[in-house]
Structure 1
Amino acid sequence: MTENATATRDRLATLVEEASEGAIAAAEARAGGVRLSALGLTSLARMRLIDAVESEYGVEIDLGARGFALVDDLDALTAHLEAR
């Protein structure tokens, strides 16, 4: 993973913590290997995360199944943002 991708992943982990109102710690999100929903990301927190990512990175995330799956996986979301 590049230095930029690592920084993006770290920022996304912080956004997960903020969107989940602390229910998922940034360190827990960064640990990887587990879907964010398995860590306790609720549907409301997922929408907050989507809003935060869209605002911060200037992207649009599909609100369908593909977009929801994307924001359930920190590594996939990082790769998506780095590929743009």
Structure 2
Amino acid sequence: MTSATDLRSRLIRIVIESADGELTNGDLAKADYSLLALNYSSLSYMRLIDAVENDLGVYLDPEADTDRFATVDGILGLIADSGGVTA
């Protein structure tokens, strides 16, 4: 079982890695964990979706609930809704 804090930390790591060195945890915190505010690129989103599937075993449909992809918390909600990871 993965705690909510552990899952959030893992997702933040994935978000940062998917940005290919263009982003830090500090940048995310300053933007209140909004990927839109940071102009997260479409390529970074595709990397993120792929990494979530590979690392967490959760498929995220990039065309469903697109508004929820705007923030780390929104993506956490998508992961929790999938039932693939117990948060």
TM-score of the aligned structures, taking structure 1 as reference length: 0.76
The match for 1:74 is 72
Relative to structure 1, the CA distance from residue 34 to residue 16 in structure 2 (aligned partners, 3 Å threshold; closer, same or farther) is closer
C-alpha displacement of 1:29: 2.5
Distance 1:13 1:30 in 2: 10
Closer, same or farther: CA 30–53 of 1 in aligned 2, 3 Å: farther
Aligned residues: 81
- Give the Cα–Cα distance (whole angstroms) in 1 for the partners of residues 31 and 78 of structure 2: 16
Higher helix residue share: 1
CA RMSD of aligned residues (A): 2.2
Check conservation: 1:13, 1:27, Cα contact below 8 A. no
Gaps in structure 2 of 5+ consecutive residues: none
Unpaired segments of 5 or more residues in structure 1? none
1:44 corresponds to which residue? 43
Q: Which amino acid aligns with 2:68?
A: L
- Whether the 8 Å contact between 1:24 and 1:40 is mirrored in structure 2 is no
Match of 1:53 in 2: 52
> Normalised by the size of structure 2, how large is the TM-score?
0.74
**Displaced runs of 4 or more, over 6 A:** none
Residue equivalent to 2:22: 23
